[in-house]
C-alpha cells in the first residue's frame, strides 16, 4: 500500500511530465493557457516557465498561493467554478491552447460530479488542437484521449486532444 506521500509524489511527477509533454504538443497551437485550481501556485509557476509568451488565466475558489505565484487581477478568476467559468470566454478573449485542471480531492463522487459539470463548460473555451490535462477523467467531452508520457501510470492523470 502506498503512503499519502508516495501518492503525492506520483501525482506531481505525473503532472509535471504531462505539462512538459503538452508544451511540445501545442507548440503550434495559438491561444492562452487555462489553469483550474491555483492551490499553492507551484503548477502556475511551472506553466509560466513553459509558456513565457502566453497569457495564463487561473480559476480558483480562493487565493492561498505563495505571493510570487499569484497572477494579476486580470488573469485571476476567484470564486466557485460554477460561478466563474460560465462566461469567462469574453474576458479570456481567445480559445485556449491548453487547459490544466488540478481539482481533485479525497471525495471521488464529488470529483466525478465536478468533472462531469466542467467538461461541457470547457468545450467552448478551447481551440482546435488544444490539449487538456486533468487529474480527474472528463467523461462529458467529445475529445480524444492522448497517450500519457512514459512513466505516467494510467489513471494518475488524463490527457485529451481537442479535435
pLDDT tens profile 77-113: 999 999 999 999 999 999 999 999 998 888 999 999 9
Count of domains observed in the chain: 1
Which grid cell is 56?
495564463
Collect the ranges in the chain with pLDDT lower than 70: none
The percentage of the chain sitting over the pLDDT mark of 90, rounded to a whole number, equals 94
2/46 Cα distance (integer angstroms): 26
Contact 81, 59 (CB under 8 A): yes
Give the SS3 label for residue 75: helix
Calculate the dihedral angle through the C-alpha atoms of 47, 69, 39, 54, rounding to the nearest 10 degrees.
-30
Q: What is the pLDDT of residue 3?
A: 95
The residues facing 85 across adjacent strands are none
For 120, list phi and psi in degrees, rounded to 5: -65, -25
Write the CB contacts of 42 (distance below 8 Å, at least 6 apart in sequence): 12, 66, 69
pTM, entire model: 0.95
- Give the phi and the psi of residue 119 in degrees, each rounded to 5: -45, -60
Residue range of the domain that includes 109: 4-161
**CATH code of the domain in which 19 resides:** 3.40.50.150
Amino acid at each position: 500500500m502506498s503512503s499519502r506521500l508516495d501518492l503525492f509524489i506520483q501525482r506531481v511527477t505525473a503532472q509535471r511530465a504531462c505539462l512538459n509533454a503538452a508544451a511540445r504538443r501545442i507548440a503550434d497551437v495559438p491561444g492562452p493557457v487555462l489553469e483550474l485550481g491555483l492551490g499553492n501556485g507551484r503548477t502556475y509557476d511551472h506553466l509560466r516557465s513553459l509558456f513565457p509568451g502566453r497569457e495564463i488565466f487561473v480559476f480558483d475558489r480562493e487565493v492561498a498561493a505563495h505571493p510570487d505565484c499569484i497572477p494579476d487581477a486580470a488573469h485571476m478568476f476567484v470564486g466557485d467554478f460554477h460561478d466563474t467559468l460560465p462566461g469567462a470566454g469574453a474576458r479570456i478573449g481567445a480559445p485556449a491552447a491548453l487547459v490544466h485542471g488540478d481539482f481533485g480531492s479525497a471525495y471521488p463522487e464529488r470529483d466525478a460530479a465536478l468533472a462531469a459539470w466542467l467538461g461541457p463548460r470547457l468545450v467552448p473555451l478551447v481551440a482546435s488542437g488544444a490539449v487538456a490535462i486533468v487529474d480527474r477523467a472528463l467523461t462529458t467531452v467529445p475529445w480524444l484521449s492522448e497517450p500519457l508520457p512514459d512513466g505516467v501510470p494510467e489513471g494518475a492523470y488524463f490527457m485529451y486532444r481537442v479535435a
